[in-house]
Structures are given as C-alpha cells and as structure tokens.
C-alpha cells in the first residue's frame, strides 16, 4: 500500500511554511476570487479562482507532476479543487487545511482576516 510518491491529501499551514523555508519547489495555488486575493494573500501564491478552473485548466497541465498545494479561505473550496485535480491525474496535489484564515492565525498575523 505504500506509494512513496503518494502525498496525504491535506497539509497543515505549519507544513506549508516549512516547505517554503526549505526552498522546496511547489506551487501554492490560491483558488479564491480576485477580490479575496486583493484583501489577503500569501506571498508567492498564484491565483486561479475555483470558478475559472475548468476554463483555465490548461495553465496547470504543464505542472501535472509538480507538487501543488491548494489554498482558499477556510479549506472548503481548496479541498474540492484538490480532489478534482487528483481525479484527473495530478498526482502531487494537497489541500492546505484551514486556508488563509488559519495561516493568518498561526503563521503570519500581518495577513488580514476577513
């Protein structure tokens, strides 16, 4: 059962912070809406709203084997996107549990909560 490349479906904000600090290559995919991204965002994240995922999927295609961490406000939308991407063959996609709200509370209080 042990697939060494199979990542757990969820990661914590502290895991993501550790990833950033380690310099490991990964894509932090923010699937919130543009107005939310304007309000609060994690440095280095890339915006691709869940509402536009179907039409913009080709932007992610070249990254099919990359490590992608999906993030939203509280973790609901990002979990849906994580599961959707996994179901179409993205193998290294994880959901950041608790979303940017949790990130603001635990990692970077300078990020506004809304």
- Positions marked active-site: 72
Closest Cα to residue 7, out of 96, 74, 102, 109? 96
Residue-wise burial string across 75-112, b where 16 or more C-beta atoms lie within 10 A, e elsewhere: bebbbbbbebbbeeebebbbbbbbbbbbbbeebeeebe
Cα–Cα distance, 49 to 6 (Å, whole number): 25
CA dihedral 80→82→85→90, nearest 10 degrees, is: -170
């Amino acid at each position: 059962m042990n697939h060494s490349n199979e990542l757990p479906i969820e990661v914590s904000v502290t895991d993501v912070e550790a990833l950033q600090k380690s310099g490991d290559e990964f894509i932090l995919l923010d699937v919130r809406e543009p107005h939310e991204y304007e309000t609060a965002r994690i440095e280095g994240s890339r915006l691709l709203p869940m509402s536009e995922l179907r039409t913009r999927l080709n932007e992610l295609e070249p990254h099919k084997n990359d490590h992608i961490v999906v993030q939203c406000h509280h973790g609901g939308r990002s979990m849906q996107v994580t599961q959707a991407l996994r179901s179409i063959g993205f193998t290294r996609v994880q959901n950041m549990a608790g979303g940017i709200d949790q990130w603001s509370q635990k990692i970077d209080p300078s990020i506004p909560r809304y």
